[in-house]
Amino acid sequence: MVGSGAAGMTAASTAREQDHEASITVITEDKHVAYSPCAIPYVIEGSIPDFRSIVMHTPEFYEQERGIKIKTATKVIAVDMDSKKLRTSVGEELPYDSLVLCPGGIVFVPPVEGAKLPGVFTVHNLADGEAIQNALKRVQSVVVAGAGVIGLEMAVAINRLGKKVTVVEMFPQVVPRLLDPDMAVLVQHHCEKKGIEIALSAPMAAIRGKDKVEGVVAAGKETECQMVIMATGVRANLELPSMMGLDIGALGAVRVSATLQPYRKNRLVKDVYLAGDVIMCENAVTPGPTMNQLGTAAVRQGRVAGINAASGCASYPPVVAPWVSCLGEMQVAGTGLSQSLAEYYGLKLVEGRVTGLTRARYYPGGKSITVKMLADQETRKIVGAQIVGGEEVTGRIDWLTAAVLKGVSADEFVASFESAYCPPTSMVKDVVNLAAEALQRALNG
Amino acid sequence: MVGSGAAGMTAASTAREQDHEASITVITEDKHVAYSPCAIPYVIEGSIPDFRSIVMHTPEFYEQERGIKIKTATKVIAVDMDSKKLRTSVGEELPYDSLVLCPGGIVFVPPVEGAKLPGVFTVHNLADGEAIQNALKRVQSVVVAGAGVIGLEMAVAINRLGKKVTVVEMFPQVVPRLLDPDMAVLVQHHCEKKGIEIALSAPMAAIRGKDKVEGVVAAGKETECQMVIMATGVRANLELPSMMGLDIGALGAVRVSATLQPYRKNRLVKDVYLAGDVIMCENAVTPGPTMNQLGTAAVRQGRVAGINAASGCASYPPVVAPWVSCLGEMQVAGTGLSQSLAEYYGLKLVEGRVTGLTRARYYPGGKSITVKMLADQETRKIVGAQIVGGEEVTGRIDWLTAAVLKGVSADEFVASFESAYCPPTSMVKDVVNLAAEALQRALNG
């Protein structure tokens, strides 16, 4: 295995479950293994006490409990796929029967002036998180570049520490692509109410400063700050795949088969598997490739790669890619296609949107929740959903993910998709069911 | 419409949406309309301030806002289906084009000695709730007969008021039929930890007392108490259907078509529809009739009956019947078949059960959650699930309900059923996904 993120460590553990005898080695450039980068904003804001807590297991745990060797701070510098050997940065040559590559992604940092100044950070690994936490002690104002999920989570975290936060986003809405504009506005207002400034249609033009960050220029306006967080998107880390001559797909990531094997000059490569942020997946809703750079995807792919690497047989199916984010008291989630993704795929979608409560109307403490469902106008099938609400959002998006995966029509959802009811946890007709009825009415014109 | 519960009021409102001109009248024996009987235990325990809050709308609201006439405290005493007229207890004769009957259920009170003593209550309508609340002021110890969902909700509510509560149940477990014994034990221990006494395999033999309740005899043991709550199950209220000569099915409820029309001597009755606790439904998991006496079912059936009564066209599909209950800090839910229901239907089920957390392991405040999934050994399809947990249970049971409805196999669930992840709301592999993997392993033997 190469890489010790969620994909690599899941692949290693799954391979061990599949084959109790095999010799399994994980090679990683990182110092830590098995931690959850999704947790970084929640450590920064103080909801999780420290970075140590988010490391699930040490390398020693893997060696002793699972018989998995781990080589940290080690880089793979060459792979010979014919003789099935690899060479590492510490001069070792290692043979392999199966090779699982999980090199992850790299944060795309736009090539603006000042991007390398001290005080500019990315949010990618545990070391980044620790560096940001340390630096924040001496900082009063921060600019976050990118109003995607990670950018907003970081903005909310830093705002909670009492610092001034400005988010600059090149698109005209927050969480572009994943959220439709009407849902994005709910999220934007929630953040603004906390005192976070959000500049839309404002691509970062330059970072000002001599020896350290002093300000950011975006949309012709300068914002003073002492720190910049680059949450400008993750791209596949193609260093190793390119070196190996693996085929790169249209989305700038490695093209793989359903068994997660790569191609070289259009021919499947034997005994090599890839998982995690480095690959493209098939979209379950509409034919075509998609990026699915989520922790859950890494785990699911790691499992498939681990089974196959240990001579088992598993395949990674097309994906819907549900996601959820917690921004203080607001939870935001999505699944399947949004309007803007559908446009990209050339689909015409119809939508139903309802705002309700998470509990019976008369039950104290219920939170507002808005559910939007999207259906293909032609087939009437539900192809996506978005939720913004105060609680109990995750289970609802998983429920809708099931509907999207199974190609359920709005009509079938209305007629058959029962929900459980109890006054403290839902309305007698859940807001999801109400949204489905609104969607059906919209489809009927 | 006859009946003003969830079924009747939904039917009336839906018929109005369908037909803006029709004259719509609701006739009900009750004084209140449009309240939520599921909320009664939560008013008793004080989570909801008073009974007034759970009345969603007054009769005046329906008359003024929706043009629906309501005759409260009125009984239908005769229906002539040939001339399409009915007669009420106040001497009126009313013609109808469509008749929707929602007479609901009646609490089955076992014919034991003392069952009519003052101090014995049922939990069925708002008047019952008010009577219990009043009586509780002068009572220190209560016996609840029946450890089903309503019995336990009432026990938890009364325990919370600081009274001594004993639950007597004829079956050897709590929540019989709906929960499997291993899940029932978790619920039982939760209640016992609060100080509620639970006597299993203890059918109530007699209620002792001269002019008022003094104690209960069950399983040869006498428990002193000043109040008895009969949560001994709801049966279809067949008074009106029997009078009309409608066919009654094997489960002691009215047999209806998918359009919710009844039969008379095996022939479909025209222009009459039934909804709510009074009818039998088709089971979606395995062919056969089932009872689905839930508020959600009443609303779904009311909608279908209302559409059809107003010359629309809708049908009520086979059901999975998901349910959820809140017992203090514990939420309990189920969907589809349990082991004991499966036995009744002659199916052999295999199960997977996992206990995990509702949040990432390192995220503070996560609650324990146990998910059990059941599959048909032969087809490997998921046919049921049960969840006991501290939060976020409802969305998960709705998610699993979708899987049961769509006949998803354990293998497909493991391979394809993605979940959304964020450290504050789930583990990276949700406990439902873990339970599916356990189920798949169990199926593989």
Per-residue tokens: B172: 């050897």
For residues B178 and B208, state if they share a domain: yes
Closest approach of B276 to chain A, Cα-based (Å)? 14
pLDDT of A202:
97
Boundary-marking domain end, from A255, A279, A309: A309
Asked if residue B2 lies in contact with residue B8, where contact means CB atoms within 8 angstroms, the answer is yes
Please answer yes or no on whether A324 and B49 come within 8 Å at the CB atom. no
Interface probe for A, chosen from B381, B418, B441 (most Cβ of A below 10 Å), is B418
Please answer yes or no on whether B417 and A405 come within 8 Å at the CB atom. yes
Please answer yes or no on whether B48 and A363 come within 8 Å at the CB atom. yes
Closest approach of A84 to chain B, Cα-based (Å)? 29
pTM score of the predicted model: 0.95
- List of chain A residues whose C-beta atoms are within 8 Å of the C-beta of residue B425: 324, 326, 331, 393-394
The answer to ipTM > 0.90 is yes
Q: Where are the alpha helices (DSSP H) in A80-207?
A: 126-136, 149-160, 181-193
For residues B194 and B213, state if they share a domain: yes
Mean pLDDT in runs of 10 for chain A (445 residues)? 89 94 93 84 94 88 93 93 94 95 92 95 93 96 97 98 98 96 98 98 96 96 97 94 95 96 96 96 90 91 96 94 97 96 90 97 95 97 98 97 98 97 94 97 95
pLDDT digits (tens, 9 = 90+) for A292-301: 889 999 999 9
pLDDT of B69:
94
Tell me if B260 is assigned to some domain: yes
pLDDT of A288:
86
- List of chain A residues whose C-beta atoms are within 8 Å of the C-beta of residue B53: 362
pLDDT of A12:
95
- Out of A317, A324, A398, whose CB is closest to B415? A317
CA A118 to the chain's CA centroid: 27
For residues B360 and B304, state if they share a domain: no
- Residue B108 neighbours by CB distance under 10 Å: 14
- Out of B314, B321, B325, whose CB is closest to A418? B321
Closest approach of A442 to chain B, Cα-based (Å)? 15
- Out of A56, A420, A429, whose CB is closest to B394? A420
- Out of A48, A402, A423, whose CB is closest to B39? A423
DSSP string, A94-111: EE-SSEEE---EEE----
Identify the H or E element spanning A332. strand A330-336
For residues A347 and A439, state if they share a domain: yes
Domain count, chain A: 3
Asked if residue B117 lies in contact with residue B225, where contact means CB atoms within 8 angstroms, the answer is no
Please answer yes or no on whether B361 and A429 come within 8 Å at the CB atom. no
**A-B C-beta contacts closer than 8 Å:** 217
For residues A97 and A118, state if they share a domain: no
For residues A376 and A334, state if they share a domain: yes
Please answer yes or no on whether A425 and B364 come within 8 Å at the CB atom. no
Tell me if A212 is assigned to some domain: yes
Among all residues of chain B, which has the CA nearest to that of A335? B420
Tell me if A316 is assigned to some domain: no
pLDDT digits (tens, 9 = 90+) for B160-200: 999 999 999 999 999 999 999 999 999 999 999 999 999 99
Closest approach of A264 to chain B, Cα-based (Å)? 27
For residues B95 and B244, state if they share a domain: yes
Taken in order A418, A424, A425, A431, the sign of the CA dihedral is positive
Which of B38, B102, B191, B281 is an active site residue? B38
Tell me if A206 is assigned to some domain: yes
Helix axes A6-18 and A59-66, enclosed angle (nearest 10): 10
- Out of A360, A415, A419, whose CB is closest to B398? A419
CA A23 to the chain's CA centroid: 31
pLDDT of B57:
86
- List of chain B residues whose C-beta atoms are within 8 Å of the C-beta of residue A395: 392-396, 398-399
Closest approach of B252 to chain A, Cα-based (Å)? 24
- List of chain A residues whose C-beta atoms are within 8 Å of the C-beta of residue B360: 36, 39, 54
Boundary-marking domain end, from B230, B261, B295: B230
- Out of B6, B300, B425, whose CB is closest to A326? B425
For residues A74 and A20, state if they share a domain: yes
For residues A334 and A422, state if they share a domain: yes
Please answer yes or no on whether B392 and A394 come within 8 Å at the CB atom. yes
Tell me if A45 is assigned to some domain: yes
Closest approach of B356 to chain A, Cα-based (Å)? 15
Tell me if B117 is assigned to some domain: yes
The parts of chain B modelled with pLDDT lower than 50 are: none
Among all residues of chain B, which has the CA nearest to that of A327? B424
Please answer yes or no on whether B333 and A420 come within 8 Å at the CB atom. yes
Please answer yes or no on whether B420 and A401 come within 8 Å at the CB atom. yes
Whether A225 is catalytic is no
Tell me if A314 is assigned to some domain: no
Among all residues of chain B, which has the CA nearest to that of A320? B418
- Cβ within 8 Å of residue A117, ≥6 positions away: A207, A209, A211, A212, A213, A228
- Cβ within 8 Å of residue B106, ≥6 positions away: B124, B234, B235, B236, B237
Please answer yes or no on whether B398 and A396 come within 8 Å at the CB atom. yes
Please answer yes or no on whether A38 and B405 come within 8 Å at the CB atom. no
- Out of A47, A421, A429, whose CB is closest to B324? A421
pLDDT of B243:
96
pLDDT of A249:
94
- Out of B38, B415, B422, whose CB is closest to A423? B38
- Out of A295, A296, A417, whose CB is closest to B402? A417
Nearest residue to A105 (alpha-carbon basis) of A212, A234, A217 = A234
Closest approach of A37 to chain B, Cα-based (Å)? 10
Closest approach of A248 to chain B, Cα-based (Å)? 25
- List of chain A residues whose C-beta atoms are within 8 Å of the C-beta of residue B315: 415
Please answer yes or no on whether A322 and B419 come within 8 Å at the CB atom. yes
- List phi, psi (to 5°) of A46: 95, 0
pLDDT of A57:
86
For residues A223 and A276, state if they share a domain: no
Per-residue tokens: A53: 């807590």
Closest approach of A172 to chain B, Cα-based (Å)? 25
CATH number of the domain residue B339 falls in: 3.50.50.60
Tell me if B1 is assigned to some domain: no
For residues B93 and B116, state if they share a domain: no
CA distance B56 to B54: 6
Please answer yes or no on whether A394 and B395 come within 8 Å at the CB atom. yes
3-state SS string for B209-251: CCCCCCEEEECCEEEECCEEEECCCEEECCHHHHHCCCCECCC
pLDDT of B269:
96
The strand pair at A330-336 and A382-389 is best described as antiparallel
Please answer yes or no on whether B415 and A315 come within 8 Å at the CB atom. yes
Among all residues of chain A, which has the CA nearest to that of B333? A420
Helix axes A181-193 and A149-160, enclosed angle (nearest 10): 10
Boundary-marking domain end, from B230, B264, B289: B230
Interface probe for B, chosen from A17, A391, A408, A425 (most Cβ of B below 10 Å), is A425
Please answer yes or no on whether A425 and B331 come within 8 Å at the CB atom. yes
- Cβ within 8 Å of residue A435, ≥6 positions away: A352, A353, A354, A371, A372, A373, A385
Please answer yes or no on whether B418 and A321 come within 8 Å at the CB atom. yes
For residues B350 and B373, state if they share a domain: yes
Please answer yes or no on whether B363 and A432 come within 8 Å at the CB atom. no
String of b and e for B259-295 (b: at least 16 CB within 10 Å)?
Answer: ebbbbeeeeebeebbbbbbbbbbbbbbbeebbbbbbb
pLDDT of A152:
98
Q: Where are the alpha helices (DSSP H) in B137-214?
A: 149-160, 181-193
Structural domain for A378, as ranges: 323-443
